[in-house]
């Protein structure tokens, strides 16, 4: 038996207002850092194009297959805050999915932050606990599997996550750590006892990035073709991890992405040796086949599959160091309102917008960025950080 593990990241960042150097120190309220109007517009648009129609379709598919179709989600805290502020029905639709028993929830950092890369992991642990409390409040459930922001992972992070009581952790199935081995099995870190689920990035990106690419040899990708590809895969587990916004937002309805999803469960279940599992079931069902040593951080982002997406140039490193320094001062001051603002500014997207990578990676960064370019993003973000620094 080979199991298909389908997992979606559901996240929306809190985008910033334009903040010039002349605003620094002008007694502006720190809540004004965030562009509420733009954030509401984007969230509402994506909710109508992706979250609501995809959730409705998944609910139908789970019921039609009597729960054989199973999926997993990680919902960031910023995403949930948007739901509660602007469209509670989106959150209600996730609750309906969870009630089916065919849906699993995954833990992560509340603010989708880079706190796991801080020198000390206290802030990381606090944000994970915040996320845990949120999931318990919303779903009366405690996740067993952890997925760090953008699947950032190394030995140090794995050890910390294991100490916090999780049974599994998700990261990228890159050749950097696997070499000749397959991502379609469970592994464990060299320094602790936790199971690692590795993303099959080729099959995941066939849907997430290449689905509508007419120049791609696999185009058009149909559900039966995709199922046949998976039927030929050797291994215990095919981890298909992607952004939830793939459906209806990154890949528009006109591409046929919803028709593809509608037929996918039936086409996969036609193969007797294939089934669906949640991440928790995968960790319970399968044994590890070896260990993996990851002394430096990897992720699922860009071609490099490392953290250069957020820390690849001097601008990003300067902002990251400023974030850490501000945090140390804030923790001494113990101002809950300012700490909340600081944590919202930790969201990895702010550093993502400052990336100066070119070629295909640069195109993806530009697609998501609300700025004219990375330097514009850097100046705006650093101005906000300097104003927050003056407030403390």
The residue whose two tokens read 């984007």 is 42
Q: How many residues does the chain have?
A: 392
**pLDDT of res. 358:** 63
State how far the alpha carbon of 234 is from the alpha carbons of 181, 273, 319, in Å. Answer: 12, 11, 44
Using a cut of 0.85, tell me whether the model's pTM lies above it: yes
What's the pLDDT at 363?
Answer: 61
pLDDT of 333: 83
pLDDT score at 332: 86
CB atoms closer than 10 angstroms to residue 378 = 23
β partners of residue 169:
146, 196
Which two structure tokens, joined as six digits, stand for 347? 């969201």
Which residues are known catalytic residues?
Answer: 150
- Listed as ranges, residues in the chain with pLDDT below 50 are none
Q: Cα separation of 28 and 33, whole Å?
A: 9
């Amino acid at each position: 038996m080979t199991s298909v593990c389908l997992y979606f990241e559901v996240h929306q960042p809190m985008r910033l207002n334009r903040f010039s150097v002349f605003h620094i120190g002008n007694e502006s309220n720190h809540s004004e850092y965030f562009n509420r109007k733009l954030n509401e517009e984007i969230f509402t648009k994506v909710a109508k194009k992706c979250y609501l129609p995809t959730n409705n379709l998944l609910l139908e598919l789970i019921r039609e297959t009597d729960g054989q179709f199973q999926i997993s989600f990680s919902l960031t805290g910023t995403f949930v805050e948007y739901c509660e502020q602007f469209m509670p029905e989106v959150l209600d639709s996730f609750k309906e999915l969870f009630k089916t028993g065919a849906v699993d929830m995954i833990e992560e950092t509340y603010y989708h932050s880079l706190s796991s890369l801080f020198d000390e992991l206290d802030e990381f642990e606090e944000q994970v606990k915040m996320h845990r409390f949120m999931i318990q409040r919303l779903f009366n459930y405690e996740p067993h599997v952890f997925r760090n922001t953008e699947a950032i992972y190394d030995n140090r992070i794995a050890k910390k996550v294991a100490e916090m009581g999780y049974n599994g952790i998700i990261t990228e199935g890159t050749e950097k750590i696997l070499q000749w081995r397959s991502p379609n099995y469970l592994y464990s870190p060299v320094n602790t006892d936790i199971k690692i689920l590795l993303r099959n990035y080729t099959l995941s990106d066939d849907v997430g990035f290449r689905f509508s690419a007419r120049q791609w040899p696999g185009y058009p990708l149909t559900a039966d073709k995709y199922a046949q590809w998976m039927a030929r895969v050797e291994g215990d587990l095919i981890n298909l991890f992607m952004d939830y916004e793939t459906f209806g937002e990154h890949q528009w309805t006109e591409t046929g992405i919803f028709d593809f999803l509608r037929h996918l469960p039936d086409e996969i279940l036609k193969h007797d040796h294939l089934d669906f599992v949640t991440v928790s079931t995968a960790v319970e069902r399968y044994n590890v086949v070896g260990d993996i040593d990851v002394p430096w951080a990897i992720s699922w982002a860009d071609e490099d599959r490392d953290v250069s997406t957020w820390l690849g140039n001097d601008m990003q490193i300067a902002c990251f160091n400023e974030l850490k320094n501000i945090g140390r001062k804030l923790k001494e001051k113990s101002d809950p309102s300012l700490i909340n603002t600081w944590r919202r500014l930790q969201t990895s997207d702010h550093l993502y917008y400052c990336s100066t990578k070119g070629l295909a990676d640069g195109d993806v960064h530009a697609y998501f960025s609300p700025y004219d370019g990375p330097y514009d993003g850097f100046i705006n973000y650093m101005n906000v950080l300097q104003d927050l620094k003056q407030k403390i």
